């Protein structure tokens, strides 16, 4: 079933502002149902979790529903779904908690393809534990990061590998499942950054072998909040710093302070919204999500292929997104023009194409783009052929 673009777009109030949005990898727009769920939760009586009052029970229910929703989205155990302010904050927290289990001489592996949120927390954590940091590179010519690239950095001292499921800069999807097998064969853990990947694919964390899987609902039509999913039994082995009286149960022990109930409710609404994209059905939500994400991927990939083919014909444009398996995200530069200038001139035409290293700073440097990065075209379920035409016409008028 092809995605019904007009119906899809009608759900997003922000589209009425008239911009053509290619900025979803920085944060997608939100459908009205998600905004409503956040507002409704804020406008209702919620308090702390408990059973004595309506407010207590409602709060408990909001949390329960949010964990169930994320579990359906990722194929996770709801008892291992941890909410936090952002993926960055959660990864710093998990890195600190995991570092308590490392010894001097242990080895931690990070990649130059990753967003810095899945690099720097491990750099600091390794340093604090006296562990050795090892780097995996990707090939800037092909954009690929291979199993062999990771394997070359694994030893019997490897304790953890942190790697992205998809690069937010160039879209590359490394072969996570095969990488997980190699990592587990060494007895190490795999921490997967699924922030960019989760917006574009059906995820099954057990299938791919992620011990920890991080994502951010604001990248898939939800509110600004972060999530890490892991098995409850693995979480039980970790002892993060926490307040003495706060719950020591899993996953609560990882959620410092009072969580944002309204954003949890918004996350549930976002997952329900995505589950509905594949059309009405009585199938369980996870099955509907599988169909929906296939519909979304087909729509986004077709638009990406169209845009990419047009860009490729322009002699002054260089495209850096070259991996075989990748998201609908294109990084490019224009010869002789500053990316920020191109972005700003497109912005004057109400076309949102940001320019940056997008915090994938190691990847940007590896590509030879320094800290400036390039222009990023990112697609979302609400992206349309008309948006693509506006973009290409806008670019033609500028370069
Ligand atoms: C691939 C990737 N990882 C991590 C992050 C950081 O996520 P958060 O903003 O939730 O900390 C981002 C944000 O852009 C991202 O794209």
279 against 140, higher pLDDT: 140
User: Residue 13 to residues 9, 32, 33, 327: CA-CA distances in angstroms?
Assistant: 8, 6, 10, 25
The sign of the dihedral angle between the CA atoms of 44, 10, 66, 227 is negative
Nearest residue (CA) to ligand 1, atom 14: 26
* Rounded distance between C-alpha atoms, residue 142 and residue 235, angstroms: 37
Q: What pLDDT is recorded for position 207?
A: 98
* Rounded distance between C-alpha atoms, residue 386 and residue 273, angstroms: 23
Q: Output the pTM of the full model.
A: 0.98
Q: Is the pLDDT of residue 147 over 90?
A: yes
- Over the stretch 192-216, which tens digit does the pLDDT of each residue have? 999 999 999 999 999 999 999 999 9
- Show the tokens assigned to 175: 């072969």
DSSP 8-state symbol, 11: T
Instruction: Average the pLDDT over 281-298 and give the result.
Output: 98
- Show the tokens assigned to 393: 């016409």
* Rounded distance between C-alpha atoms, residue 39 and residue 316, angstroms: 47
The sign of the dihedral angle between the CA atoms of 76, 81, 87, 89 is negative
| Mean pLDDT across the chain | 98
* Rounded distance between C-alpha atoms, residue 352 and residue 158, angstroms: 42
Residue with the two structure tokens 């409503």: 36
CA of 246 to the centre of ligand 1 (A): 28
Question: What percent of the chain is modeled with pLDDT above 90?
Answer: 99
CA of 50 to the centre of ligand 1 (A): 32
Question: What percent of the chain is modeled with pLDDT above 70?
Answer: 100
Three-point CA angle 139, 140, 143, nearest 5° = 75
**Beta-strand relationship, 189-193 and 158-164:** parallel
* Rounded distance between C-alpha atoms, residue 112 and residue 97, angstroms: 23
Q: Residue 334 in contact with residue 375, Cβ under 8 Å?
A: yes
- Over the stretch 223-243, which tens digit does the pLDDT of each residue have? 999 999 999 999 999 999 999
CB within 6 Å of ligand 1 — which residues? 25, 86-88, 115, 117-118, 164, 168, 193, 195-196, 216, 226
**Beta-strand relationship, 374-378 and 329-334:** antiparallel
Distance of CA 301 to the CA centre of its chain: 17
Q: 337: alpha, beta or left, given left = phi > 0 and alpha = psi -120 to 50?
A: beta
Count how many Cα atoms sit within 13 Å of the Cα of residue 155 in the half-sphere of its side chain: 11
Hey, which of 164, 172, 359, 380 would you mutate to test ligand 1's pocket, going by the most ligand atoms within 8 Å of its Cβ? 359
DSSP 8-state symbol, 118: G
Q: Is the pLDDT of residue 137 over 90?
A: yes
CA of 117 to the centre of ligand 1 (A): 6
Helix locations, 87-155, DSSP H:
87-99, 120-129, 147-151
* Rounded distance between C-alpha atoms, residue 100 and residue 393, angstroms: 54
Instruction: Average the pLDDT over 336-364 and give the result.
Output: 98
Nearest to 235 by CA among 193, 189, 267: 189
Non-local (6+) Cβ contacts of 104 within 8 A are: 129, 130, 131
* Rounded distance between C-alpha atoms, residue 380 and residue 142, angstroms: 24
Instruction: Average the pLDDT over 144-148 and give the result.
Output: 98
- Over the stretch 12-47, which tens digit does the pLDDT of each residue have? 999 999 999 999 999 999 999 999 999 999 999 999
pLDDT class of 70 with cuts at 50, 70, 90: very high
* Rounded distance between C-alpha atoms, residue 204 and residue 290, angstroms: 10
Hey, which of 115, 121, 167, 174 would you mutate to test ligand 1's pocket, going by the most ligand atoms within 8 Å of its Cβ? 115
- Strands (DSSP E) contained in the chain are 20-21, 81-84, 107-111, 132-136, 158-164, 189-193, 212-215, 226-230, 317-319, 329-334, 351-352, 355-356, 374-378
The sign of the dihedral angle between the CA atoms of 283, 285, 287, 293 is positive
If DSSP codes are grouped into helix, strand and coil, which group holds residue 38?
helix
CA of 199 to the centre of ligand 1 (A): 12
Nearest to 19 by CA among 5, 29, 32: 29
pLDDT class of 1 with cuts at 50, 70, 90: confident
* Rounded distance between C-alpha atoms, residue 73 and residue 286, angstroms: 6
CA of 357 to the centre of ligand 1 (A): 12
Q: 142: alpha, beta or left, given left = phi > 0 and alpha = psi -120 to 50?
A: alpha
Q: Residue 193 in contact with residue 163, Cβ under 8 Å?
A: yes
Nearest to 94 by CA among 198, 193, 178: 193
Q: Is the pLDDT of residue 372 over 90?
A: yes
**Ligand 1 atom at minimum distance from 359 CA:** 14
pLDDT class of 273 with cuts at 50, 70, 90: very high
Nearest residue (CA) to ligand 1, atom 7: 87
């Amino acid at each position: 079933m092809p995605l019904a673009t007009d119906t899809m777009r009608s759900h997003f109030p922000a589209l009425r502002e008239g911009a053509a949005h290619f900025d979803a990898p920085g944060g997608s727009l939100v459908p009205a149902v998600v905004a409503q769920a956040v507002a409704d939760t804020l406008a209702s009586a919620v308090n702390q979790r408990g059973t004595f009052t309506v407010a207590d029970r409602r709060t408990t229910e909001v949390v329960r529903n949010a964990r169930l929703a994320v579990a359906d989205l990722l194929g996770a155990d709801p008892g291992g779904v941890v909410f936090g302010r952002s993926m960055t904050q959660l990864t710093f927290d998990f890195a600190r908690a995991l570092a308590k289990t490392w010894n001097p001489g242990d080895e931690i592996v990070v990649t130059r393809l990753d967003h810095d949120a899945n690099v720097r927390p491990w750099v600091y954590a390794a340093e604090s534990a006296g562990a050795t940091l090892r780097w995996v590179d990707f090939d800037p010519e092909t954009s690929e990061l291979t199993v062999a690239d990771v394997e070359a950095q694994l030893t019997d001292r490897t304790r953890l590998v942190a790697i992205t499921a998809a690069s937010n800069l160039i879209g590359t999807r490394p072969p996570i499942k095969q990488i997980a097998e190699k990592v587990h064969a060494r007895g190490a853990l795999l921490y997967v950054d699924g922030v960019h990947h989760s917006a574009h694919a059906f995820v099954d964390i057990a299938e791919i072998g992620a011990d920890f899987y991080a994502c951010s609902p604001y990248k898939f039509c939800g509110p600004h909040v972060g999530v890490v999913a892991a098995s409850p039994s693995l979480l039980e082995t970790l002892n993060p710093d926490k307040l003495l009286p706060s719950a020591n149960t899993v996953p609560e022990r990882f959620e410092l302070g009072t969580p944002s109930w309204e954003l949890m409710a918004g996350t549930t609404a976002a997952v329900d919204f995505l589950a509905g994209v594949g059309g009405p059905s009585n199938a369980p939500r996870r099955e509907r999500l599988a169909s929906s994400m296939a519909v979304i991927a087909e729509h986004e990939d077709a638009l990406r292929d169209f845009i990419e083919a047009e860009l490729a014909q322009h002699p002054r444009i260089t495209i850096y997104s070259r991996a075989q398996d990748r998201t609908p995200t294109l990084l490019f530069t224009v010869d002789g023009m500053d990316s920020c200038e191109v972005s700003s001139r497109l912005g004057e035409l109400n076309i949102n194409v940001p320019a940056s290293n997008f915090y994938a700073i190691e990847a940007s440097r590896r590509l030879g783009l320094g800290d400036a990065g390039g222009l990023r075209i990112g697609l979302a379920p609400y992206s349309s052929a008309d948006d693509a035409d506006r973009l290409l016409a806008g670019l033609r008028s500028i370069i």
